[in-house]
Structure 1
């Protein structure tokens, strides 16, 4: 009996070296173009935190304004509001909103971590407060000169109320965050 063997077909399994190199080049190109967008998100995070603190400052200002309205100080150019009802003035106000005073204004309406995590300054007329992360200036607490704050290009400016019926405004600079 003569048995004829069926011819065997050479079937390739796996990838060739050229296919592997092409895949590696494509993945490398994607990694180089996409990685920077995912690796450096700290700037976006700092800008978001700065904006959330600005929102907290506006909310605190509205709460102080409500207290000033109750005490009849919401139309006064300059006032002192008792926040906790102990008979002692707690915060300086301008037209019922926290002033730009470095020690007695909006900074006093913020939490205790405000003094250690943030650095702030005012102009000499106490019309505005500059605020940035303490880590960006390598210091913390109140600071009398706004130059190191502005140099970070990651700060906000709180402008106090300037007349009856106008609330404080906040301006953000986030190009250096």
Structure 2
């Protein structure tokens, strides 16, 4: 007796369920890494703003030093791209107006506010996630700090 037994091909229901469960576990472990990218992007943007502030303050100091205005605590100014920038020991004064003159940030994306220190944060973002610019002193450069709290 020779019987032809038809062979089945495909996956069983149990195999399909196991694959779905494994994919679900992988998605659950990978999702938090992708969700946290927004916070990392905000911090990276603020690090870029910090670098721009450092570069702008150094260039302003260079211009002030060439003009011999780098040693005064107040009352001095330099011309940057046609705008008068007030100086504190040769560096930009920590006012929203003076910082906006030396660092070109998109007004729709960034907000500059306050004075001593001046805070810069993403428009529509969290106010506690910011970069701060504190004025120079007679012995130290301006302090530029990124506050990542709440990012």
TM-score by length of 1: 0.74
Alpha-carbon RMSD: 2.2
Note the C-alpha offset of 1:41: 1.7
Contact 1:160 / 1:168 at 8 angstroms: preserved in 2?
A: yes
Distance 1:176 1:59 in 2: 26
Q: For 2:95, which of 87, 93, 101 is the aligned residue?
A: 101
Q: Which runs of 5+ in 1 are unaligned?
A: 137-150
TM-score by length of 2: 0.86
Q: Look up the match of 1:19.
A: 15
Partner of 2:87: helix, strand, or coil? strand
Partner of 2:9: helix, strand, or coil? coil
- Residue 116 (1) aligns with residue 105 (2): no
- Residue 71 (1) aligns with residue 71 (2): no
Distance 1:112 1:50 in 2: 11
Partner of 1:176: helix, strand, or coil? coil
Number of aligned positions between the proteins: 150
Q: Which runs of 5+ in 2 are unaligned?
A: none
Note the C-alpha offset of 1:9: 6.0
Q: For 2:142, which of 163, 168, 177 is the aligned residue?
A: 168
User: Any runs of at least 4 consecutive aligned residues in structure 1 with deviations exceeding 6 A, and if so which?
Assistant: none
Q: Which has the larger radius of gyration?
A: 1
Distance 1:83 1:16 in 2: 73
Note the C-alpha offset of 1:42: 1.6
Partner of 2:80: helix, strand, or coil? coil
- Residue 60 (1) aligns with residue 56 (2): yes
Distance 2:18 2:127 in 1: 44
Contact 2:120 / 2:131 at 8 angstroms: preserved in 1?
A: yes
Q: Look up the match of 1:28.
A: 24
Distance 2:65 2:33 in 1: 48
Distance 2:87 2:111 in 1: 21
Distance 1:15 1:98 in 2: 70
